[in-house]
Structure 1
Amino acid sequence: MVDFRKHVSRKRDIDFANLASLFDSLDRQTSHIELRAVQKHALQILSEQRLKQDVILKMSTGAGKTAVGLLYLWSFMEEKHQPAVYLCPTKQLCKQVGVEAERLGLKSVIYPPRQTHPNVDGISGKAIIICTYDKLFNAKTTFDRSDVMLRPYAIVLDDAHAGVEEIRDCFTLHISNDSERKQLVKILDGPCAEYNSAVWNDIKNEDPNQLMEIPYWIWKPLLPQIEKIITNRVNDDDNLQFVIPHIQDILRRCRCVVSGAAVEIVPDILPVHKSPAYDKAAHRLFMSATLADDSVLVRELGCDISAAEKPVKPTNDRGMGERMVLAPSLVDDKLDRKWIMSLCSKLSTKLNVVVLSPSESKAREWENFGAQICLGDKVKDALENLKDTSGTPSFVVFIQRYDGIDLPDKSCRILVIDGMPLGEGILDRLDSSTSGFAGGTRNRLIYRIEQGMGRAVRSHADYVVILLAGNELAHFIAKHDVLSAMNPDTRAQLELAIDLSKMATEDTGADPETAVIDMIRKCLKRDDGWKQYYNETVKESSITTSGTTDPDRLALANAERRAFECAIINNLNGAVEFLSNAIGKHISDNSAAKGWYLQRVANYLYDIDPGKALEVQRSACENNKSMYRPPQGVIKRPQQVEESGVQSIISEWYSQFKNPNGAIATIQELKANLSFDVSHSVFEQAMCDLAPLLGAQGSRPEKEDGEGPDDLWLWPDLSLVIEAKTEKEKPLQKKDAGQLSSSINWFKENFKKNKNPVPIIVARTTLCNSDAYFPHDTRFITVDTMRSLLEKVEQFYRKIIAEPLLFSNKRALSRLQQAFLLLPEQFLKNFTDKPKKSK
């Protein structure tokens, strides 16, 4: 037998610093595998930055970043003979990475859930370890067990955007057990009832839709009792076992959110130092296809800010595939969610249609149109059926699957994002309704929209039609601030969606339904004009936009991270200093974001000087009404609205929409939420949201300050003090009159400069019991007057959209208000009724 090794003069030297050349040394499984230009460029840049601890790599879906990440790990594993780990969000993606490693000729081992020891080749640095994020980051990870002590030299974090959410879940304590939840509510009862009795009473009555975040001055003094409850059953509850060790000693740095059905406790900043396998890794590569705001990696995962300032982005990346994004309700409000359901039912007879829905209840509504709901084990089978294009087309709905599934080419040509992609946790729900998030705080809604849109385009040559269902989602993506937070590709495609909604009827002259269907057909039939237009408006736009994260956001995220790191070693003065300096340098005065960061300063300061902390908290609340209301003193409120402010408020509200039809979509949503059958919290918020459409300043004093009316509308010469009694079908009672009287007294004490406070009741009836003495001049808004008001509001804004010049002049705008009976002085006469005594 011939031993070829005898004829080899010397072992070939391998240059581990040249990642592209390493590829040529691999024993690849197929002969036709070669690096693409974009991969070569990525490897070249990575080679130059290889010795840094943290590097961020951005490559489009389908550009081959998995192979790049594997080569990056292999270089360190071969050079240092130490373990290397490739992290994925899901088990399915782990398998895909394993297949790619085999294709490249790289040895790898999957380290699955519940396996107690990793493969010996992985430990010895002879094979790349592939596992999910939760395998490494859970509090009882086998990586840290004394008989394993696996310390990777290098780590790749694939789909880092999804990884942040997976890691956060490893640090989040979910308490839905009825006994434990009730014990926690009992401990919090006294101070929380005093802080906001209305909301807290709903929580005690187990209203699952009502939420409250516990203020830090209530949370911190009660920690000894709270810790006792959650640690007593740590060995009886898997969730507690796998989370408590992470957060037990940093509960002072955690947020606590309570609903009528659950409690969540989660660190404000992720304490990733609790995972030594990650924290001590010499090299970490964060890979992402879609994440535009890299500040989240700095804030949550402790990524070095210099990596976020200069991410690796191959210049010859051809970008993601073609996506025709359509929001039919922006074309015409009659093209609503049910219309999309009906359309998809027809389209599914010829091609695959996939729906991404935020909840099972919403998903079930698609069954009436022939869709199949995919849960649990059915997901895998459904994905296989979609990819088998030889059979009958599929019409399927996935729930909360905004990442982790791939639907390339014919497996999905029609993708529906079914309404706002809200998260499953109560903290998700709270944060999605809070303004002022910035500097690395996760904007989950934007992230999920981007991720969902990416499911069906897996290469630059792929194409899909994406339908955005629901008015709420349509008006959300029509806002300037939302678009600015998207990555360049997604932003360009959503801006195109807004342009297409205008072109649908303006260019064709066809009715809206025909116009939208024609657009869909042009994409699916590969119309040359459409492809050329798309390339000019989207691809060229995204190429010329850098997508680099705003420097102020990065600086603020870094300051939050540094402040947290100071706080966990009890350097609270350092924590306050880091954040205060960042606020001064990187935030404009009187912004909602400033309120957000000031509250973080106050939280740290409370452990040093509680009195001064509450002064800072007052400023936080004045900048952002979503922040905690201080426990003492009266909040400063806008005392008067300037005469010209009515039209200015209308202009400011209308100007937030890049597409004017976003205003109509918002009005449709308001009409739904101002139904007298919705929950009182939804109705009260909708009343507050309606105010600026009429040129009034709206607020919810009882929710924001714990006292006062449900809603308050302020015009220059008129103030409405509003109590919502929409659940009342019988005549109103004495206690209802007393509540309104108290609210009027509160107004007179706190708004002494404001004129003409008018007491308003919103109810189904104008009848009152004989002993119910309402304040003088009380007026009622009923189902009929509310309907009339909303009709006039919609007509008013449709007129503005049709004749934009009316909007450019305040006098013209005022005359238009008058024509639609929407001036403040016209409101009471046209949209309210007098109360009547029942017989």
Structure 2
Amino acid sequence: MPVDPYEIFRKNSGRMSESSVNDLWAGQVDALREWHVNRNLKDVCLVLNTGAGKTLIGALVSQSLVNETRGKVLYACGSIQLVEQTREKFESYGLKPTTYYNRKFSNENYDQCQAVCITTYQAIFNGRSKFFNEDIEAIIFDDAHTAEGMIKNHFSLDIRRQQFSELYDSLCSIFQPYYHKVGKAGTFAEIRSGQNAKVELIHPSEVASNKSTICSLLEKGGVSENTDTLFSWTYLKDHIDICSIYISSGIIQITPPFIPVSRLSYFNSEIRRVYLTATMLGEDAFIRTFSKLPDKVIAPDTPAGQCERLILFPAKSSNVADDLMAAKELVKAEKTLIITPNNAAASRWEDCAELPSRNEFPESMQAFKDSNSDDKIVVAARYDGIDLPGDTCRVLVLDGLPMGSSLIDKYLWESLKLAKSLRSIIACRIVQSLGRISRGLSDYGVVLVVERDYVKWLSQPKNQAALPEFIQKQFMLGADISSDAEGYQDLKKVMMQCLERDDEWLDVYETYMEDCEVEPEELDSDELVRFAKSEVKFSEYLWERNYAEAAKCLTEILNYAFAISDSLGAWYAFWLGYCYELAGDEQNSNILYRRATGVSKNLPKIFGAVESIDSLPTNQMVEIVNQFEVAGGSNLNIPKNMALNLQGLSDGASSNTTEESLRALGQYLGLDSSRPDKEVGVGPDVLWVSDNIAFCIEAKSGKKIKGSYTKRNVGQLMNHIQWVQDEHPEVEKIIPVFVGPEVSVSDSASPTEDMCVAGLAKFKVLGEELVAAYQDIASKAIPLDLSEHVRETLDLRGWNWADLSQNFDYVALK
């Protein structure tokens, strides 16, 4: 039996029924030759653009591995529908594969080691997979860029309220006392009643202390018997206390904070793995998905997949007040595919498009594909597995940023704002989405991007840089066209020019794509790869309950993570704190918990320093109380490195150090303090928020201010005020502040009446006074009366946020 994949192709050429395959393309030949040379490597990734013949490559590689090893080789697809499509393709190439789904093999060729077994990711990764006990020689992961969500789903136990109503209520009742203790009983009640769409993370200490009760309820609730839950239950049943638990109004989700993929036998050193993909994941995302980087990436240079696209942003056009309504009008007469991140977003289209259920989807999609009318179909969180080439569909609407539909994804994005670590996954899903209606080099289509967060994400240079350069150019062209358009009619005109192959549009497109130059952006890629590797090792050791080794994995990257992203650093510190708690080190555990919650207010608080937080009148007092560390007995310590963390308030510090010290000062004042520009790439340098009052801070100390604040400086601050209004609608008062030299504005600048400026020295004085006040409180308070001492200090010093924000010694900017 031939082992060289090209020889397999040549030998089978007489048996092929696929009319479009007469010979291999140059890119396919290059890919096969390079893979054959590197076939003994354990992990090889083959990247071929949509339309470049990836399935044929997969067929030849998989049969080559079967012929070489005379063993069992698996080929993973995303769905049963794709298994059947792939089987048909393989058979058209003259091969005789086996398929496996619904617990049935189609023939004996796989068992006899004569052919590959085409099956689903679900069949391979579910907790009771029959393949765990097979002697697997190799696995081909088709559409490897889609594996992240599917693998995560198999480690996620979802208790859906509609399906397990009694179990859902019983689990909520376990955690209700905790929310009373930490002063969030109202929020928890709103979530349970469906009045609040927020996702809450249960503190892992509460999970650990109620482990036996939780497991008993889950068993009695039937999760070990229901087909929707029994496979993930197999993974999680002995590890509930080292999982994260999220609660929303409709679902309770139990899942590891970091998926222990490396514990699966498929990723051991004895098995070879080939990853087929049209969209290469970012290296950090690849590691989180498959626990390692490929030993070799093979990406032949081919123009396949570089389809012509007109990408429009209705929100960027003047006179368009509602981009959703504009999009509906633009596609009214066009056959259109609409992709949304979830069912809630999909429901926005129910007045004009079909919303098929999961069971109805295959039949509905085939009917849509065959239709010649202006039908519209909307699909939620389906970024792959839909092929609508050529005239089957020319118009695509992307409504809602594809940040993932699971509760952990929603929590990490909305509550923690882990924009940097999620960037490559989001970019990959965007590229996947674009490929649904654009397949071959000669294909073309129109894409409408709808929804504020989506448009904003794509407007940020570092996010654009995570996309292929060809697609970056298309987004840049579309943004320019949309901004120049004066309303719906202009957008409709250029849309029809594209669809009707107007020469003017074709000339503009060709010229722009040839002349446009994309400026490179630094994306912290090396650091993110390092973090991802540490997450994998942490998850492995934590799963084994080797808490000491797990702690080392996050400890060695913690400060680096904080330097890249405060939110990411807080996430690591939180789980590192829990790791120390499980190891019995209460002191370090509390330090890390407080460091985490001091930076990210949406992480759950540890309860212990105060007997009754419910009685505290303001969020500010609660946060200050939580800054203190209980040192044993009744002794209190001020936050570790408090004075050191405020050193950037002195002249001569770098801009980054000054901004971080301003953020830390806000934290120690008990405010929700963050650095939006650093963490999400947009917004003010520093933001302090509490009790519906915000300080919107632009730090100009350490930056060159040549005698006055310029029109550009003032305009930048105005933009950031708008950002705060958009992102924090609960804020009733915004105080825009330049922290820097107390000088006037230039003649061309027009500051608003509420803009002000304060020298850095004033913040330094406040910081020094705050450290001294903390020390005084720690010297005379005990945990039981800590809140009263905090109350007295805030009243005496005039530091209650409503007073401080009003009376701080800033001067009007004129």
TM-score interval, normalised by the smaller of the two chains? 0.7 to 0.9
Residue in 2 aligned with 1:836?
Answer: none
Counterpart in 2 of 1:792? none
Point out where structure 1 has 5 or more consecutive residues left out of the alignment.
1-12, 506-510, 674-684, 698-712, 720-742, 761-776, 778-809, 816-839
State the partner residue of 2:690.
none
1:311: Cα distance to partner? 2.4
Matched position secondary structure for 1:311: strand
Tell me which residue corresponds to 2:633: none
Query: Quick one: which amino acid aligns to residue 356 of structure 1?
Result: I
**Alpha-carbon distance, 1:526 to partner:** 2.7
Where does residue 356 of structure 1 map in the other structure? 339
Residue 96 of structure 2 corresponds to which residue in structure 1?
A: 107
2:730 matched to 1:687? yes
Which residue is equivalent to 2:636?
A: none
Bigger mean CA offset, 98-107 vs 441-450: 441-450
Partner of residue 604, structure 1: 579
Give the AA of the match of 2:414: S
**Is residue 649 from structure 1 mapped to residue 698 from structure 2 by the alignment?**
yes
List alignment gaps of at least 5 residues for structure 2: 610-624, 628-663, 676-683, 687-694, 702-711, 740-754, 764-786
- CA–CA separation in structure 2 for the residues paired with 1:601 and 1:714: 40
**Is residue 488–residue 545 contact of structure 1 (8 Å, CA) maintained in 2?**
no
Moved more, 235-244 or 55-64: 235-244
Partner of 1:316: 302
Q: In the alignment, which residue of structure 1 is the partner of 2:177?
A: 190
- Correspondence 1:327 to 2:327: no
- How far residue 383 of structure 1 moved from its aligned partner, in angstroms, is 3.2
Percent pairwise identity: 21
Helix, strand or coil at the partner of 1:404: coil
Deviation, structure 1 residue 499: 2.6
* Alpha-carbon separation, structure 1, partners of 2:8 and 2:514: 32
Specify whether residues 367 and 222 from structure 1 end up closer, same or farther in structure 2 by C-alpha distance, changes over 3 A only: closer
Matched positions, count: 676
Amino acid aligned to 1:331:
S
Q: Distance in 1 between matches of 2:685 and 2:227?
A: 59
Q: Equivalents in 1 of 2:311, 2:397: separation in Å? A: 10
Query: 2:124 — aligned with what?
Result: 136
The structure-2 alpha-carbon separation of the partners of 1:360 and 1:175, relative to structure 1 and needing over 3 Å to count, comes to: closer
CA contact (8 A) 2:465 2:520 kept: no
**CA shift at 1:814, angstroms?**
4.8
2:259 aligns with 270
Structure-to-structure mapping, 1:419-568, within 5 angstroms: 419-421=400-402, 423-435=404-416, 437=418, 445-502=426-483, 504-505=484-485, 511-535=486-510, 537-538=512-513, 550-568=525-543
Distance 2:157 2:179 in 1: 20
Q: Report the secondary structure of 1:61's partner residue.
A: coil
Among 353, 356, 360, the alignment partner of 1:371 is: 353
User: TM-score under structure 2 normalisation?
Assistant: 0.73
Counterpart CA distance in 2 for 1:168 and 1:400 is 14
Asked if the contact 2:171–2:217 (Cα under 8 Å) also holds between the matched residues in 1, the reply is yes
| Equivalent position amino acid for 2:497 in 1 | K
CA distance in 2, matches of 1:589, 1:376: 40
For residues 589 and 53 of structure 1, do their structure 2 counterparts lie closer, same or farther at Cα, with a shift above 3 Å needed? Answer: closer
How far apart, CA to CA, are the structure 1 residues paired with 2:700 and 2:374?
48
Whole-Å separation in 2 of the counterparts to 1:555 and 1:644 = 26
Q: How much does 1:396 deviate?
A: 2.7
Kindly indicate whether the alpha-carbon contact (under 8 Å) linking 1:337 and 1:470 is maintained by their aligned counterparts in 2: yes
Aligned-partner residue type, residue 406 of structure 1: D
Cα drift, residue 277 of structure 1: 4.8
**1:528 Cα offset (Å):** 4.4
| 3-state SS in 1 of match to 2:302 | coil
User: Is 1:408 matched with 2:389?
Assistant: yes
What residue identity is the alignment partner of 2:566? Answer: S
Aligned to 1:294: 283
- Equivalences for 1:736-755 in 2 at 5 Å? 749=793
| Pairwise CA distance, 1:129 | 0.9
CA contact (8 A) 1:355 1:398 kept: yes
- Distance in 1, matches of 2:795 and 2:64, equals 69
**CA 430–715 in structure 1, closer or farther in 2 if over 3 Å, else same:** farther
SS of residue matched to 2:50: coil
Task: Supply the distance in 2 between the matched residues of 1:336 and 1:127 (Cα, whole angstroms).
Answer: 51
Does the Cα contact within 8 Å between 1:156 and 1:285 map onto a contact in 2?
yes
Counterpart Cα distance in 1 of 2:685 and 2:558: 32
**1:399 corresponds to:** 380
**What letter matches 2:165 in structure 1?**
D
Deviation at 1:283, TM superposition (A): 0.9
State the Cα distance separating 1:566 from its structure 2 match: 2.1
The amino acid of 2:310's aligned partner reads: M
Q: Output the CA distance in 2 between the equivalents of 1:222 and 1:715.
A: 51
1:799 is aligned to none
CA spacing shift, 1:66–1:572, aligned 2, 3 Å: same
Q: 2-side partners of 1:585 and 1:394: how far apart?
A: 51
Deviation at 1:279, TM superposition (A): 4.8
CA deviation string 1:284-328 (max 9, x = no partner): 1122222441322212322x3353xx5222133544312221111
For the residue of structure 2 that corresponds to 1:122, the secondary structure is: coil
Say which is worse superposed, 42-51 or 476-485, in terms of deviation. Answer: 476-485
CA–CA distance in structure 2, aligned partners of residues 540 and 50 of structure 1:
40
Residue 530 of structure 1: how far off its partner (Å): 3.8
Separation in structure 2 between the aligned mates of residue 436 and residue 745 of structure 1, nearest angstrom? 34
Shift in CA distance, 392/497, structure 1 to aligned 2, threshold 3 Å: closer
Scaled by the length of structure 1, what TM-score is found?
0.71
Deviations 1:560-619 (A, max 9, x none): 101222223333222222222234557626733222222232232222212202212222
Q: 1:154 aligns with which of 138, 152, 156?
A: 138
Distance 1:365 1:252, change over 3 A: closer
Give the whole-Å Cα distance in 2 for the aligned partners of 1:452 and 1:752.
58
Q: Which amino acid is 2:159 matched to? A: I
Counterpart-to-counterpart distance in 1, 2:697 and 2:519: 35
Does residue 256 in structure 1 map to residue 245 in structure 2? Answer: yes
Deviation at 1:201, TM superposition (A): 3.2
Structure 1 Cα separation of the partners of residues 478 and 586 of structure 2: 50
1:232-247 to 2 correspondences below 5 Å: 232=220, 233-247=222-236
The corresponding residue for 1:722 is none
SS class of match (1:135): helix
| Structure 2: distance between partners of 1:637 and 1:184 | 38
Indicate conservation of the 8 Å contact 2:573/2:596, yes or no.
yes
Task: Label 1:544 to 1:58 Cα distance change in 2 as closer, same or farther (>3 A).
Answer: farther
CA deviation profile, 1:723-782 (whole Å, cap 9, x unmatched): xxxxxxxxxxxxxxxxxxxx999787459766685489xxxxxxxxxxxxxxxx9xxxxx
3-state DSSP of counterpart to 2:538: helix
Task: Provide Cα deviations, 1:393-419, integer angstroms capped at 9, x if missing partner.
Answer: 423333333322111111111111123
Alpha carbons of structure 1 residues 178 and 335: separation in structure 2 relative to 1, 3 Å: closer
Partner Cα separation in structure 2 for residue 71 and residue 84 of structure 1 = 12
Deviation at 1:433, TM superposition (A): 0.4
Counterpart residue type for residue 179 of structure 2: C
What does 1:11-90 align with in structure 2 at a 5 Å threshold?
14=2, 16=3, 18-27=4-13, 28-30=15-17, 32-90=21-79
Do the aligned residues in 2 keep the contact of 1:76 with 1:84 (CA within 8 Å)?
Answer: yes
1:120 is displaced (CA, Å) by 1.7
SS of the residue corresponding to residue 323 of structure 1 reads: strand
Q: For 1:462 and 1:163, how far apart are their aligned partners in 2?
A: 27
